Amino acid sequence: MLEGKTAVVTGASRGIGRAIAQKLASQGASVVINYNGSEEKALETQQKIQENGGTASIYRCDVSDYGQCEKFIQDVILEYGRLDILVNNAGITKDGLLMKMSEEDFDRVIDINLKGAFNTIRFASRQMLKQRSGRIINMSSVSGVTGNAGQANYAASKAGLIGLTKAAARELASRGITVNAIAPGFIETDMTDALSDKVKEAATAQIPLGRFGKPEQVAAAAAFLASEEAGYITGQVLHVDGGMVM
Ligand code: NAP
């Protein structure tokens, strides 16, 4: 279904990004696994894809760094000659109450989660414009839709991603490029593993389906938005959250 297409997935060394990389590769895309710190995990993602007969390469790039992103995207285009799908999935949390939050923790979360997506879109969209087609998917969060106490930086970054998604969708629509966001709820990854049992219990109580989601369930939504069939959907936020936002 995605044969001949090149897909970049940021933050694909672990968690949701890894599941998306595996899903897109299983559909025939050549996948670029981006990571920043976890080289071994990125190699593991690549190995899993190759074991299933897929094609994948790994690229280190700190998405918060504009210059690194320019080189990253240029190198991908040199290697594959095209870029069809960009999934801005890389993200971090640095939680804390607003009044105690350091400037550094605010900036780092915004720089990776929000500016990181701007950086890659800035360079990837140039190639997609030439191709007159493309799919851009930004990983937002339920936090960016409803807000969440203790996550002022994270919620701001994820709400910002929704604005970025809609502005980019309007700018790029005339050239056949769609831009959408996914807003997951609580998904079982390292990010949510770090939460205390008490927080996990309180979170579960807010989920109509009564359980955390799996990375593969977010990957299925990403694969749909990346597909040809989703070509008439742009500027939308797809909630994959067990019913938290409805
Ligand atoms: P995770 O398991 O903590 O993985 C985060 C990924 O982001 C890793 O692959 C990490 O790569 C990468 N990353 C972090 N900083 C980076 C940087 N500066 N440059 C490039 N890559 C970087 O997180 P996850 O739970 O899979 O979350 C993935 C995305 O979904 C995030 O945007 C997150 O905010 C969003 N999300 C998650 C949940 C959830 O419940 N898990 C809910 C809503 C939204 P390295 O380790 O190689 O640095």
Cβ contact 39:15 at 8 Å: no
- Got the DSSP string for 118-131? HHHHHHHHHHHHHH
Q: How far is CA 5 from the centre of its chain?
A: 18
Calpha distance 185→163 (Å, rounded): 19
Give the end-to-end CA distance of the chain in Å, rounded to a whole number.
Answer: 31
Catalytic residue numbers, as ranges: 154
Give me the CATH number covering residue 226.
3.40.50.720
Residue 58 included in any domain: yes
Residue 152 included in any domain: yes
**Ligand 1 pocket, 114 CB below 6 A?**
no
Instruction: Using the mean position of ligand 1's atoms as its centre, give its distance from the Cα of residue 174 in Å.
Output: 31
Mean pLDDT of 42-50: 98
Residue type, 63: V
Ligand 1 atom having least distance to the Cα of 42: 47
pLDDT category, 39, cuts 50, 70, 90? very high
Percent of the chain with pLDDT over 70: 100
Which residue is listed with tokens 């190759």?
50
Structure confidence at residue 116 (pLDDT): 99
For the stretch 128-152, pLDDT in tens is: 999 999 999 999 999 999 999 999 9
Residue 225 included in any domain: yes
Calpha distance 182→116 (Å, rounded): 16
Residue 246 included in any domain: no
Residue 244 included in any domain: no
Residues in the chain: 246
Structure confidence at residue 74 (pLDDT): 98
Nearest to 140 by CA among 123, 160, 120, 168: 160
**Ligand 1 pocket, 16 CB below 6 A?**
yes
| Residue 95 CB contacts under 8 Å (≥ 6 apart), including other chains | 150, 151, 154
Calpha distance 238→139 (Å, rounded): 10
Residue 158 included in any domain: yes
Residue 245 included in any domain: no
Q: Which domain holds residue 228?
A: 6-239
Taking CA atoms, 77 is separated from 60, 71, 242, in Å, by 15, 10, 37
Q: Which of 16, 61, 212 to mutate to test the pocket of ligand 1 (most atoms within 8 A of CB)?
A: 16
Residue 188 included in any domain: yes
- Total domain count, the chain: 1
Instruction: Using the mean position of ligand 1's atoms as its centre, give its distance from the Cα of residue 83 in Å.
Output: 22
Cβ contact 190:245 at 8 Å: no
Ligand 1 atom having least distance to the Cα of 154: 34
Q: Which of 41, 89, 206, 245 to mutate to test the pocket of ligand 1 (most atoms within 8 A of CB)?
A: 89
Ligand 1 atom having least distance to the Cα of 60: 20
HSE at residue 178, side-chain half, CA atoms within 13 A, is: 19
**Ligand 1 pocket, 242 CB below 6 A?**
no
Instruction: Using the mean position of ligand 1's atoms as its centre, give its distance from the Cα of residue 18 in Å.
Output: 10
DSSP 177: E
Structure confidence at residue 122 (pLDDT): 98
**Ligand 1 pocket, 146 CB below 6 A?**
no
Backbone angles phi, psi at 34, to 5 degrees: -95, 145
For the stretch 67-115, pLDDT in tens is: 999 999 999 999 999 999 999 999 999 999 999 999 999 999 999 999 9
Ligand 1 atom having least distance to the Cα of 218: 30
